[in-house]
Structure 1
Amino acid sequence: MPNLQLLFFSARMLRRDARGGELRLLAAALAVAVAALTAVGFFADRVRQALDRESHQLLGADLLLTADHPWPAELAADARARGLQVVETRTFPSMVTRAAGDDLRAQLAEIKAVETGYPLRGTLRTAPALNVADAPARGVPAAGTIWIDERLASALAARVGDPVVVGRASLRVAAVLTLEPDRGINFFSVAPRLLMNLDDLPATDLLQVGSRVGYRLLLAGDQQVVQRFQREIEPRLARGERIEDPQNGRPEIRVALERAQKFLGLSALLTVVLAAVAVALAARRYVQRHLDPCAVMRCLGATQGLLLRLYLGQFAVLGVLAAALGCGLGYLAHFALYAWLAQLLATPLPSPGLLPAVQGVVVGLVLLFGFAVPPLLQLKKVSTLRVLRRELGSPRSALLGGYVVGFLALAGLMFWVAGEVELGTWVVGGFSVALLVFAGIARLAVRLAAAARGGGRSGNGGQAGIGWRYGLASLERRASASVVQIVALSLGLMALLLLTAIRGDLLDAWRRAVPPEAPNRFVINIQPEQVAPVRAALTAQGLSPELAPMVRGRLTRINGVEVSAASYSDDRAQRLIDREFNLSMRAGLPEGNRLSAGRWFSSADLAGDGDDGAASVEDGLAKTLGLGVGDRIEFVVAGEAIRLRVVGLRKVNWDTMRANFFVLTPPVVLDGYPASWITSFYLAPEEADFVNRLIGEFPNLTVIDVAAILRQLQSIMDQVARAVQFIFLFTLAAGVIVLYAALASAAEERRYELAVMRALGARREQLRRALLAEFAAIGALSGLIASLGAIAVGQFLARQVFRFEVAIDPWLPPAAILCGALLVTGAGWFAAARLLQAAPLEALRGGSA
């Protein structure tokens, strides 16, 4: 048969089977899986395009040099001599206030001081007032003026023209800042923004010892000159200095968004797993129903190869159409992700490209042919004798080997979505173990449920008793199909429980882990001469906090070997080595700390005897950096090397919200080095105006409202969680499709059984109760397994990831059992109710096939 004629005949078969409803489950499963993946794919593509197309704007320049110390003036002069534009900015957190007296308002702000010419790429946008249309800004704030964003304007109740106190300077609000091209992402900019002129910075007197300031040089110009300049200075970079270009710029944005996209992608992958099961079940049912037509075509001269090509062509057309439908649904669904997550990226997102749609079609075809071809191989082997002898049944086929190919294809998709070998291995292994454990539990539960039906043999023998005994017996009689149904529904329900009930339990436990009156305010940047008056102010308020000194130092050597970020492969270790540590000094073990190894400081340590000073290191930091008791570490403080010997490791209870430190030394070790001081205390809501008075008296202090920051971070977490829950709606739909497919795959056998029962005198009401009992048992077992799995995962996350205890909700299993029973009963009854309407004689003549 020519290829064109073969394709035409396959299309006619597809149209006929579509009208008969033969392929609806296959199409639905494929469409849901493709929709879930492409919804994530379209959103990820828009983010990728935004980062790629506007990479220069996200930097505000062609090249960005960042450091935790001022850049040498010679570097900027060299860049200008090459014809490059150069602009300097400085960024740091500080308190700002408006008004005075009883109307005084204070707010922690992220201050950026910029030179004229900023930004070199992209555009600032401002508005003349809140909730007014914005427009491109001209230049930067003039000397004596500032621009504040909407959040800061609301927090201070400040309008254009109002004076705002920044440190020791009073600056006038000239505009509301609406867009800052290099602002980045809200994950890392939890404080509102204040933009000021760099010339006004000295008057504020805010840059003191211990201030955390980011120094940036923005460069722009001819691409070749920029690249040459970058190549020349990269080998000369010192500790705490790095270069960002459009390819690696704003790594925190890329990393955070990539992680969010991976999380969403892995969530969507659960839908793909369930869809694969549904495709396999639906294909098996399709093959069973097409054995007779294939036998007839074999009698009319069709070869095995022709039959296989016909059905493969039909499935290819089906796969393309279902994938196209899924891509359309995914495109519409991605707008929900856009509504929740696009606000995390402070730049407009362009329209998505066609690549996610192409990927969706590929995924759909991989699923279809990976899990539908093995059953299709049975069709070409059907015997011509089946036309006369239907009891021959289905031809035997090596289905296990075929499904191994499908599983390998699915594993490949998991690695692809995970994006890395290690994560992909964990995902594939986790899914495999979960499937095996759930299948084992489901098989045991089915056997126990079937055995339990014997307990109801005595009694009145009414319809209810016969119905539920027959329903439970059906679970064991179709054990394989029952296990598949229970496992699929358990996975979907577990995912939803993790993102609803368990997520809420984790957040509640996290809140309970913090003592009710744990410090909710941190005060930093306290200068040595301010320690006594600040302590007096706190005491007058009825507070008795402890003020701790902080000395900034950079870790340079461990056991005599120089260390840098390149010395470690772990991301956290690299970040720690590349930054300055806050060292502190104590004579006694702080509250909330306990020794995990070694000892606390001895009298000799406190007296400063010995060549090296003593150090106590936080246990987690020691594990990250590979430190142990007896190791020698060297810090550079104010240009001078300080050698320390690790005498002990400490477990720190960070939930106390006190001022804790990674590294502690005896007072004698750090005495005389430049230090600032920090304190923390609990402030009741009705006493919040004390912060305003404190900042009014000491303008250089920075007060961090931990509760407000945690609320904002929780809001961001909720946005991501809602997006993931939205993706899991596809998972739930896939789970329902699996259930329907599993029930439909046994429809012929069930139809025959019901006909025999009715022929033997069973009433429809009895059979209806039997079906409802079977469906309710499947749903209840699925809910039970899902709740136990969700509790286990939640406990693992609480103990191993979040490091706190979470109580087990005793109501979760009963609620999950009830919801699962109702859900499965409804879906199953919809799939099987019409079987009761079939005439017994017609079903018996058709046989059980």
Structure 2
Amino acid sequence: MWVKLALKLFMRELKRGELTIISAAIALAVLTVFTLSAVTDRIRLNIEQKSTEFIAADRRLDSNHAIDSAFLNEAQQRGLQTAELTYFDTMLFANDDMLLVSVKAATESYPLRGKVIIKNTLDGDTFEVSSGPKKGEVWLSESIFYSMKLQVGDEVEIGAGRFVVSHVLVREPDGALFSFTGNRRIIINQNDIAATKVIQPGSRVFYRFLFAGDETTLSDYYSWIKPQLKDNQTWEGIKDRQSPLGDNLTRSSQFLLIAGLLGIILAAVAMAVSAKRYCERQYDPVAMMKTLGGSRSTIRKMYLLHLSLICFFSISLGLLIGFGLQTLGADYLAQSMGTTLPNAGWKPWFMAIFIGAVCAVMFALKPLLDLFDIPPLRVLRRNLGDTLAIGRMHMAMSALTVFGLMWLFSGNLKVSVILYGASALVVAVLFGISRLIFGGGRRLGLSPANSWSLALATIQKRANANAVQLISFALAIKLMLLLVVLKNDMIADWQAQVPQNAPNAFLINIAKDEVAPISAYFEQHGIEASEFYPVIRGRVQALNNEKYARDVSLQEGEKKDEEAKQGVGRELNLTWAQEMPATNDLVEGEWFNNDGSAQVSVEQGMAEGLKIKLGDELTLLINNQEVSARVTSFRKVDWGSMQPNFFMILNPEALAHFPATYFTASHVSSEQNKVFNQLLMQYPTISVVDIQDRLLQAQSIINQVSLAIGFVLAIVVLCGTLVLISQVQASLAERMQEIVILRTLGARGSLIKQATLYEFLLLGLIAGLVAAIVSDVTLLIIQQQVFELPGKLHPKIWLFGPLSGGVFVALVGYSMVAKTMRQNTQGLLRALS
């Protein structure tokens, strides 16, 4: 019996539009979470897939000694793709010439991710291949052709093996971004190593295994291999690399995560407002049913059935719309990126359904319970039940629900606490402000016929409702401001790391007498270049005459000093300079003085690692000579600036008497390639590290991330707009009553319109001001604690926040009530009835 009545009432309210608000709010929550989750998940997967090209695999295993082949066998049995690489330096012989080159021996399955770029001839077009050279072939980098006057098809010798030069090697996906060994790279087949007879006991060889597959299999494989790894073997992915790219990928993932969290907050606000309004509109029907003999139990079952039907319908609608939105958005992004976005996993579906259901239950349950307590006498006294208070327990449970959903969605407690705390601060501040301002609305002494006076009086009359509206507006504005500014700061930081005119070629092994003519050649042809830096190899030997530990061969009677300080463990590239490089920042101490003593400036991170203090005496071993220098300063070095950087810089008095080679960084445009290659032909002993393709690859990924973030930001702005619409729509009935009363008392239509516009404008200004201040403080915390960026304040948004908030809320709010104000009094009374 009650089911039939409930369904009949449900269909009646559905036709009248009574369920529109709460249904739209649940659908909004679901489509917001689903769209953001699906789009960010697909973007994240695409970014990670693109970024794995930098290591030519999903994971790699590095070792300074031969790796057990059982590792490869196990990976293959688990369904992972594998490739094997071997690196070593040797001499290349051709045309009675010889040249020291860096050899990469690769199996034909290399690369697992990305493509190798090659050419058939020096002047030919580049093209991509997805496998390494065949047995008996060798690919040479372009500089080797110039240095040894080779052509494709010539024969070269590597050790005891003879090979045919089959292609020009342009770029490897996992090529070193920069190395002082130069750009003389060659690739041979892994099976040709034995024929060269180059690798002998004691040879310096580097080994690498590549792996590709799904994340679950890779994680399981790592769990199996981890206990077997030696201390000098490293397992890593692209995010594990200590590089600007790895940092940027982590930051982009965190930004997309924050966007999703903000979407959850917006959805929760919309749901809470709509659920309360829906239940308030059911007070009269419930009172009527009670007077007609309806029991509390029957009414409870009817409305719980209504809630269940609404949830099912709204969640289904939200998933449908969300799927369409994320498909359209992903297709647009894929076309803009020139790629195909992978499909999202199951998480967006689960999160959207779960969050939609939880929001509906948690935010509708208390208003429904209040609804069941409506007294039958309300049919005679319409104000009974209007003052039902929101319980503290319900508020606490709702607050904990929002935080729990954020934590569940993100899996990151720190980010959830920061964003939740900032939103709670907005609520607390605005609640106090609203009570202070709205309570004093009638004491401003404005004229009764003034539209500002009417606006303030209306705000003061609906103090509690306007406080809720103000909080909702401020939360939406705060979240949008936060994402806009954070997006701009992140992209500006990324673009600063890889600027458009960044050096894309490094010239090394320049003789001292070649510096002047090369510099003149650059100036003559308009090629931008940095300063020429002298380079000497040296090892940190001792600190304050206390020697660092060194590796020795463990022959009979020879042991390692385990009690000695742990040093760098390798030789460093040292330089000397009279002035500090412009890209370095002095963080402590003073730059070199001219007292004639040997002095050294140390990079901040190395100083911390070696526990060096200002004034310490550092001893360096250069060739077979020891050089002692006093530490005068510590520098902060931006290793992602693409500029020449050093861990240690000494003054000329310390190192100028040592023979050294020089190197510089230059920016060579495509129009200058020809004259640049002519320079290389004039100076064949110079090695060039060409990183132009690597920079283009990095800039491409940054552009893709920026585009993706912009799309996600647009979704959040749209969700914020929908929250404002739902909040204004919840007050339409009350506004209709006010308009009827004002018209009855003789108020002009223009006065009512202006007062309504001013009301929304004032609410938007206040909400925007508080939102701007809290957003800036939140940004400062997020940049420092989450993104590990130097935090800074943004005073511009203190002005932009109130202005944009006022305009935004005024336009959205006024447009929502404009139709109501255009209706005549008779039409409004009919709608209210």
Same fold (TM over 0.5): yes
Structure-to-structure mapping, 1:281-300, within 5 angstroms: 281-300=273-292
| Corresponding position of 2:230 | 237
Q: CA deviation at 1:382?
A: 0.9
Q: Which of 374, 396, 399 does residue 404 from structure 1 map onto?
A: 396
- SS for the counterpart of 1:392 is coil
| Corresponding position of 1:327 | 319
| Corresponding position of 1:140 | 133
- Alpha-carbon distance in structure 2 between the residues aligned to 1:335 and 1:370: 30
| Corresponding position of 1:569 | none
Residues 347-356 or 267-276, more deviating: 347-356
Q: Deviations over 1:390-421 (max 9, x none)?
A: 23233634433212211111101211232222
Task: Name the CA shift for 1:187/1:799 in 2 (closer, same or farther; >3 Å).
Answer: farther
Q: CA deviation at 1:55?
A: 14
Q: CA deviation at 1:759?
A: 1.6
- SS for the counterpart of 2:61 is strand
Query: What is the one-letter code of the residue matched to 2:133?
Result: V
Pair 1:273 & 2:265 matched: yes
- Alpha-carbon distance in structure 1 between the residues aligned to 2:641 and 2:47: 39
- Alpha-carbon distance in structure 2 between the residues aligned to 1:325 and 1:295: 31
- Alpha-carbon distance in structure 2 between the residues aligned to 1:174 and 1:276: 58
Query: What is the one-letter code of the residue matched to 2:687?
Result: L
Q: Deviations over 1:528-587 (max 9, x none)?
A: x73442454224544782313264769999999999xxxxxxxxxxxx999978442437
| Corresponding position of 1:432 | 424
Q: Deviations over 1:105-145 (max 9, x none)?
A: xxxxxx99343443497998999999999999676356556
Q: Which of 722, 726, 737 does residue 737 from structure 1 map onto?
A: 722
| Corresponding position of 1:389 | 381
Q: CA deviation at 1:278?
A: 1.7
Structure-to-structure mapping, 1:214-225, within 5 angstroms: 215-217=207-209
Task: Name the CA shift for 1:768/1:328 in 2 (closer, same or farther; >3 Å).
Answer: same
Pair 1:472 & 2:456 matched: yes
Q: Which of 487, 506, 516 does residue 523 from structure 1 map onto?
A: 506
Structure-to-structure mapping, 1:408-427, within 5 angstroms: 408-427=400-419
User: Are the equivalent residues in 2 in contact too, given 1:66–1:215 (CA < 8 A)?
Assistant: yes
Pair 1:36 & 2:32 matched: yes
Q: Deviations over 1:674-706 (max 9, x none)?
A: 987533457799866553334333476234568
Q: CA deviation at 1:362?
A: 0.3
Q: Which of 292, 315, 320 does residue 307 from structure 2 map onto?
A: 315
| Corresponding position of 1:104 | none
| Corresponding position of 1:17 | 13
- Alpha-carbon distance in structure 2 between the residues aligned to 1:753 and 1:229: 68
- Alpha-carbon distance in structure 1 between the residues aligned to 2:808 and 2:40: 33
Q: CA deviation at 1:601?
A: 6.9
Pair 1:662 & 2:647 matched: yes
| Corresponding position of 2:688 | 702
Structure-to-structure mapping, 1:347-358, within 5 angstroms: 351-358=343-350
| Corresponding position of 1:533 | 514
- SS for the counterpart of 1:311 is helix
- Alpha-carbon distance in structure 2 between the residues aligned to 1:709 and 1:452: 67
User: Are the equivalent residues in 2 in contact too, given 1:118–1:140 (CA < 8 A)?
Assistant: no
Q: CA deviation at 1:436?
A: 3.8
How many residues align? The count is 764
- SS for the counterpart of 1:391 is coil
Q: Which of 656, 664, 667 does residue 679 from structure 1 map onto?
A: 664
Residues 404-413 or 782-791, more deviating: 782-791
Task: Name the CA shift for 1:778/1:685 in 2 (closer, same or farther; >3 Å).
Answer: farther
| Corresponding position of 2:104 | 113
Q: Deviations over 1:299-319 (max 9, x none)?
A: 334443443343233223222
| Corresponding position of 2:580 | 590
- Alpha-carbon distance in structure 2 between the residues aligned to 1:562 and 1:11: 82
Residues 439-448 or 361-370, more deviating: 439-448
Query: What is the one-letter code of the residue matched to 2:506?
Result: V
Structure-to-structure mapping, 1:760-839, within 5 angstroms: 760-785=745-770, 820-836=805-821
| Corresponding position of 1:485 | 469
| Corresponding position of 1:197 | 188
Pair 1:619 & 2:609 matched: no
| Corresponding position of 2:96 | none
Task: Name the CA shift for 1:234/1:700 in 2 (closer, same or farther; >3 Å).
Answer: farther
| Corresponding position of 2:713 | 728
Residues 538-547 or 676-685, more deviating: 676-685
- SS for the counterpart of 2:235 is strand
Q: RMSD of the alignment, in Å?
A: 6.4
Q: Deviations over 1:787-815 (max 9, x none)?
A: 566666778889997978999786x7776
- SS for the counterpart of 1:89 is strand
Q: CA deviation at 1:327?
A: 2.0
Query: What is the one-letter code of the residue matched to 2:748?
Result: R
Q: CA deviation at 1:361?
A: 0.6
User: Are the equivalent residues in 1 in contact too, given 2:541–2:547 (CA < 8 A)?
Assistant: no
Q: CA deviation at 1:389?
A: 1.9
- Alpha-carbon distance in structure 1 between the residues aligned to 2:762 and 2:222: 71
| Unaligned segments of structure 2, at least 5 residues | 90-101, 524-528, 551-565
| Unaligned segments of structure 1, at least 5 residues | 94-110, 564-575, 608-613
| Corresponding position of 1:102 | none
Structure-to-structure mapping, 1:80-159, within 5 angstroms: 88-89=84-85, 113-119=104-110, 140-141=133-134, 143-144=136-137, 146=139
Q: CA deviation at 1:164?
A: 12
User: Are the equivalent residues in 2 in contact too, given 1:147–1:196 (CA < 8 A)?
Assistant: yes
TM-score normalised by L of structure 1: 0.69
- Alpha-carbon distance in structure 1 between the residues aligned to 2:719 and 2:488: 25
Task: Name the CA shift for 1:122/1:772 in 2 (closer, same or farther; >3 Å).
Answer: closer
Q: CA deviation at 1:498?
A: 5.5
- Alpha-carbon distance in structure 1 between the residues aligned to 2:667 and 2:130: 42
Structure-to-structure mapping, 1:354-373, within 5 angstroms: 354-373=346-365
- SS for the counterpart of 1:243 is strand
Query: What is the one-letter code of the residue matched to 1:140?
Result: P
- SS for the counterpart of 2:634 is strand
- SS for the counterpart of 2:209 is strand
- Alpha-carbon distance in structure 1 between the residues aligned to 2:539 and 2:6: 74
Pair 1:549 & 2:540 matched: no
- Alpha-carbon distance in structure 2 between the residues aligned to 1:133 and 1:680: 25
Query: What is the one-letter code of the residue matched to 2:106?
Result: E
- Alpha-carbon distance in structure 2 between the residues aligned to 1:437 and 1:390: 34
Query: What is the one-letter code of the residue matched to 1:237?
Result: K
Pair 1:755 & 2:751 matched: no
Q: Deviations over 1:602-634 (max 9, x none)?
A: 999956xxxxxx864333555688765478999
Query: What is the one-letter code of the residue matched to 2:534?
Result: A
- Alpha-carbon distance in structure 1 between the residues aligned to 2:111 and 2:235: 16
- Alpha-carbon distance in structure 1 between the residues aligned to 2:492 and 2:820: 48
- Alpha-carbon distance in structure 1 between the residues aligned to 2:625 and 2:301: 77
Task: Name the CA shift for 1:583/1:494 in 2 (closer, same or farther; >3 Å).
Answer: farther
Q: Deviations over 1:450-487 (max 9, x none)?
A: 58974x64xxx9xxx72233123323332343344344
Query: What is the one-letter code of the residue matched to 2:230?
Result: L
- SS for the counterpart of 1:545 is coil
- Alpha-carbon distance in structure 1 between the residues aligned to 2:604 and 2:367: 56
- Alpha-carbon distance in structure 2 between the residues aligned to 1:307 and 1:632: 85
Residues 641-650 or 368-377, more deviating: 641-650
Q: CA deviation at 1:365?
A: 1.2
User: Between the two proteins, what is the percent identity of the paired residues?
Assistant: 24
Task: Name the CA shift for 1:755/1:195 in 2 (closer, same or farther; >3 Å).
Answer: farther
- SS for the counterpart of 2:450 is helix
TM-score normalised by L of structure 2: 0.71
- Alpha-carbon distance in structure 2 between the residues aligned to 1:717 and 1:118: 28
Q: CA deviation at 1:264?
A: 1.6
